[in-house]
Amino acid sequence: MPAITAPGVGSGLDINSLVDQLVALEKRPLQAVQSQKSNVQAQLSSYGKFKSVLSDFQSAMSALSTRDSFQIFAASSSNENSFAATTGADARGGSYAIDVTSLAASHKLASGAFADSTTVVG
């Protein structure tokens, strides 16, 4: 009949502790790879966020790609029937008061009848 043996019995060696330490040593490379994986995933996430912010910035800047974007002045009148104004590329900002000192009057000229369209006038 075979004899039952237990390694380390009687030698004073703590076999369970030795096995646990060996297993921990074997796991170190895996833990290092997992740590690197976490770091790479964090960097990838940061790059994604940066790309998103950069895309938003690019969209905002595209609104400024034409000259019209910078022509922000407009002219207005409190009474468009009496006075109208327009702005040009060199417009300066400000508020201007227009005083009407006299109104234009209508004027008509009339002459007598002419015999035909070839008659000399004058």
Residue type, 53: V
Name the range with the highest mean pLDDT among 47-51, 63-67, 97-101. Answer: 47-51
**Which residue intervals of the chain are DSSP H helices?**
15-62
> 81 in a domain, yes or no?
no
Residue 109 counted as domain residue: no
Residue 54: inside a domain: yes
Q: Is the pLDDT confidence value at 5 over 60?
A: no
- Amino acid, single-letter form, for residue 13: L
Q: Label residue 117 by pLDDT band (50, 70, 90).
A: confident
- Position 47 confidence tier, pLDDT thresholds 50, 70, 90: very high
Interval 71-103: pLDDT, tens: 677 888 888 887 888 887 778 888 888 887 888
Residue 30, token pair as written in the block: 């895996």
Q: What is the residue range of 28's domain?
A: 15-65
Q: How many domains does the chain have?
A: 1
**What's the DSSP call for residue 18?**
H
- Inside any domain, residue 76: no
Task: State how far the Cα of 70 lies from the Cα of 75, in Å rounded to an integer.
Answer: 15
pTM to 2 decimal places: 0.39
**Does 1 map to a domain?**
no
Q: Is the pLDDT of residue 56 over 90?
A: yes
* Higher-pLDDT residue of 29, 90: 29
Q: Count Cα neighbours of 78 within 13 Å in the Cβ-side half-sphere.
A: 5
**pLDDT confidence tier of residue 8, bands split at 50, 70 and 90:** low
Tokens at residue 74, please? 């407009």
Residue 94 lies in a domain: no
Closest CA to 72 of 91, 86, 97, 58: 91
What pLDDT sits at residue 80? 81
User: What is the pLDDT at residue 52?
Assistant: 96
23 belongs to a structural domain: yes
User: Is 47 inside any structural domain?
Assistant: yes
